[in-house]
Amino acid sequence: MDTPNVVNLLLERLTSAEEKAHGNRQLVEYALASAFLGLVFGLDWYERKVALRNDRPDPWMLNGSDEWLRRVRPPAPPIGSRWWAGSASGLWLKTANKSDVRRIVYNHRVIRLADALFTLFNSRAAKGLDAIKERFLTRPTKACFIEAEIASLLVYNGLEVEIVKESGLRGDDFDLLASLRGTTVSVEVTSKNEGPLTVRTIKNTLFSKRSQVPPGRPAVLYLHVPAAWMRNQKRAHDVFTVAFNNFCLRSKRFNGFVLVWEEVVPVLEGGFPAFTMQACYNNIARIPFLRTELFTPLPRDGKIRIARSLLESLENHRAKIQPKNDSGFSEKAVKASRSYSGVPPSLDT
């Protein structure tokens, strides 16, 4: 990927988006994210996964048009404002809030994916990027999306990360290889579909993943779970604790397990997508790894992130290369405040 050329193209798109969004930062961020994804994966992928569609939107990205949103309604919520209702996206929202949050989820995922991939493609610490690009082009989006975010998190936290090509060999068929000062860690990323949360379900997953990582180095398992499982935190904690303890008594292969889930937190008539990670570490792992805090988001400058912001990075780059006028603002920033079309910027504009 020609990073300097991509940055120049995105700087042009930044100016265009600012002119159309008239200060709406969320629209600018979405426009840049969608443009970047199109540059990375090509127009065909963009039209199937990101562009708003009247039919067959991607099940994970939820890129349905307004017509699709009106035609395909989310599941009806149960009666009672204190109950919770599942949406087609696998997220959850309180039924006291009746808004359709699918467009919110879509925008959030477009931006998150762009930030994660920008972090990887713009870092010397990330290797094997052709492998993850190939997975996105040939596989369902959800698993690739989760893997990209985990890889981004590790790079953002200062580890070197290699995306590992599938070997199909027992003990050598994991997703990522993370390195820190000469120590390498095998990283496996998996997800669970909707269904009952039981100790047996989790134990079966753990034992099936044990054979995918080699016994000769530390290993971490990221487990993306349905948000429905986490609505009762106490029950979920009890189930996972029993499953993890039972597994660790029989196998010392994994140093830690990181639960990952997302949900929509209702805010007024809309909602805010929340991304959560919770880790459980094995104190009797076969090969210790002391820097376990690097496998979950770390506070930085008062924020908790798992990737660099594409928008902020471009703004910072532009500030370094653009001359300022007498007011102290760049010429493009002044121009951007003069007009607004009222149309959300996208790759097609």
Share of the chain above pLDDT 90, in %: 64
- Please state, in angstroms and rounded to a whole number, the distance separating the CA atoms of residues 24 and 214: 48
Per the CB < 8 A criterion, the answer to whether 39 and 119 are in contact is no
Lowest mean pLDDT across 85-99, 152-166, 219-233 = 85-99
Instruction: Tell me what the mean pLDDT of segment 234-241 comes to.
Output: 95
- Please state, in angstroms and rounded to a whole number, the distance separating the CA atoms of residues 132 and 117: 10
Per the CB < 8 A criterion, the answer to whether 329 and 26 are in contact is no
Ordered DSSP codes for 110-175 = HHHHHHHHHHHHT-TTEE-HHHHHHHHHHS-HHHHHHHHHHHHHHHHTT-EEEEPPP---TT---S
272 in helix, strand or coil? strand
pLDDT tens, residue by residue, 321-348: 876 555 454 454 444 433 333 334 444 4
Q: Give the orientation angle of helix 310-321 with respect to helix 3-21, to 10 degrees.
A: 100
Q: What angle do CA 186, 190, 196 make, to 5 degrees?
A: 140
Per the CB < 8 A criterion, the answer to whether 85 and 70 are in contact is no
pLDDT tens, residue by residue, 297-330: 998 888 889 999 999 999 999 998 876 555 454 4
Residue 259 has pLDDT above 60, yes or no: yes
pLDDT tens, residue by residue, 25-66: 999 999 999 999 999 999 999 999 999 999 999 999 999 999
Collect all residues with Cβ–Cβ distance below 8 Å to 17 and sequence separation of at least 6.
27, 28, 31, 32, 345
Nearest to 50 by CA among 63, 65, 31: 63
Q: How many residues does the chain have?
A: 349
